[in-house]
Amino acid sequence: MAMYSAKEQGRGRFALYVPPATDAEGADAELRVELRSAIAEGRLTLHYQPIVPLRSGLRKGFESLARWDHPDHGLVAAKRLFDIAEVAGLSAELGVELLRLAHDDERPWFNHDDAGFVSVNVAASQLGHPDAATRFVERLGERRLDPSELVIELTEASFAQGLIVQGNLEVLRSAGIRIFLDGFGVGYSSLSHLHRFPVDGIKIDRSAISPAVDESLVKLIVSVAAALDIRTVAEGVETSDQLATVTRLGVDYAQGYLLGHPTRVPTPKSIDV
């Protein structure tokens, strides 16, 4: 635990073990120790949130979100799980496991006629295993999803990564897996990233959708996407007003609590398009 705490503060540090001051700190320290076996034993699960088409001719998708259902600590959601893995030095293992799960998970509710894809959040830092992509691609098709039915959601931080990550992304993309840029339109979002690394879709960050749709930003993203012939998804749609606005602006898909929460078995609200 002292080692993890030193790592959290950067390289070349040392730390003394002091019993945790808060319950949350203690819980995370315990989880860091257990995460390795949870990954190895396949105890992580995916929950799915519907991504609903806003015009005809598109099939719906489902974003998978990693969960660790821990017997003592309850459901650990993706963001915290990723942070714990990072500090524990398990990001690369987690990435390999997320790809495996996205492909192998049993989805009896996934109807290939009206559902087009499952997306998975694999942070670039989780693609640090030199042959993560090759090993994964070799197994594709043996099981439940075609490469064309798999989407990887990446944040822009991925574009600043090194050669191993870039190599993994290229292997995945040339196998026919699509790549969507996640949470676009906040912070240092830059259109130049879309040129440097070709993506197949842009997910518009929920801060541009809720509480109010930032119409000029959404319009801009929709026109860039049209020029590049790629798809757009509005994230975090919570009200029917927001849904009406993004539909009017020509966004391709909507995702958010209005259309369905992430659950083990998703139930998308159907909308007329």
- Nearer of residues 5 and 121 to Mn ion, judged by Cβ: 121
Quote the CA–CA distance of 195 and 179 in Å, as a whole number: 14
Choose one: 11-19, 123-131, 156-164, 235-243; the region binding ligand G (CB under 6 A).
Answer: 235-243
**Using rule CB under 5 A, residue 153 touches Mn ion:** yes
Residues of this chain, 166-195, that bind Mn ion according to CB under 5 A: 182
Cβ atoms within 10 Å of 67's Cβ, excluding its own = 17
Binding ligand G by CB under 6 A: which of 236, 245, 249, 251? 236
32 binds ligand G (CB under 6 A): no
Residue 43 phi, psi dihedral angles, 5° rounding: -95, 0
Which window, 130-138, 161-169, 192-200, 232-240, contacts ligand G (CB under 6 A)? 232-240
Please, which residues have CB within 8 angstroms of residue 99's CB and are 6 or more apart in sequence? 120, 122, 132, 136
Contact set for ligand G, span 174-193 (CB under 6 A): 182-183
Q: What does the DSSP 8-state code read for residue 188?
A: T
Q: Could you tell me the smallest distance in angstroms from the CB atom of residue 182 to ligand G? A: 5
Nearer to Mn ion, 5 or 253 (CB): 253
The CA-based angle 268-239-58, given to 5 degrees, is: 40
Give the DSSP letter of residue 112.
T
49 binds Mn ion (CB under 5 A): no
Measured at CB, which residue is nearest to ligand G?
Answer: 256
Distance, in Å, from the CA atom of 91 to the CA atom of 66, rounded to the nearest integer, reads: 13
Rounded distance between C-alpha atoms, residue 36 and residue 85, angstroms: 9
Q: Which is nearer to ligand G, 201 or 256 (CB)?
A: 256
Which residue spans within 56-113 are E strands per DSSP? 60-70, 74-77
Smallest distance, Å, CB 153 to Mn ion? 4
Q: Which residues bind ligand G (CB under 6 A)?
A: 49, 65, 77-78, 121, 182-183, 206, 235-236, 238, 256-257, 262
